[in-house]
Structures are given as C-alpha cells and as structure tokens.
Amino acid sequence: MEVSRVIESAAEMTARNAAKSAAVSTPRLVAIAIDAVADAALRAREAEAVTHELRCDACDEVIEGEAAGHGLYVWVRGDEVRREEPPLCACCATAIGITALQAWSIEEEEG
Ligand SMILES: [Zn+2]
C-alpha cells in the first residue's frame, strides 16, 4: 500500500472517530492515534517489514533470522564490475558449498 493512501485512510479514520466522540454525550475512554501521520508511519513501517522478509535466492524459502550463507553473482557492464551476494537458506548454502568444493577438487586433480 502506498504511504499516501495509508495517510489518507488514517486521516479519514481519525475524522470519523472524532465525529463519533462528539455525538456521544457520555464521556468514555477512546483509544485513537495521536495524529494521523504518526499512525500512517507506523502502518507503513509494518507493511515494509512484511515485504522485506529474507528469502533464499535458490529455493525462495523464507529465512528466519540470519542467512546461513550467501551466493555470489559477478557481472560486468563495460568497465563497471558489479557483484551481488544474495542470501541462502541452510540447505541451499550447504548444497551449493559442497558442490563448489567437489568441482574445485575435481579441477585440482585434473590439474
Ligand atoms: Zn534455499
């Protein structure tokens, strides 16, 4: 959800809550956000946390906590060398690491 839409909906909710409170004559405890912008910022941060969950680059599993390992992509565009180290889950990090070690030892044996 876009931040501007969150701010709009939060502002509408606050306005509605204020209208309800004014209509009711008996005092009662109502929990509302201090201001709509702060409420929207909190909601945006929660939405951002959900979308930025860590996923394994090989199998797309959600990674809890720290990544068990990282892959390595290196590519060249003109003179610029770019590298990326995508996160890997424990299973994929182990499988890719062992496969790389095997390929390396075969290469060394062949000379
Ligand atoms: Zn994986």
pLDDT in tens, 56-90: 999 999 999 999 999 999 999 999 999 999 999 99
**pLDDT over 70 at 10, yes or no:** no
Compute the distance between CA of residue 42 and CA of residue 39 in angstroms, rounded to an integer: 5
For residues 3 and 46, give the distance between their C-alpha atoms in angstroms, rounded to a whole number. 11
- CA 49 to ligand 1 center in whole angstroms: 21
* Residue-wise pLDDT tens digits, 91-109: 999 999 999 999 999 999 9
Decide which of 4 and 86 is more confident: 86
56 residue type, one letter = C
* Domain segments of the chain as ranges: 3-51, 69-110
Centre of ligand 1 to C-alpha 6, Å, is 34
Ligand 1 centroid–CA 85 distance in Å is: 14
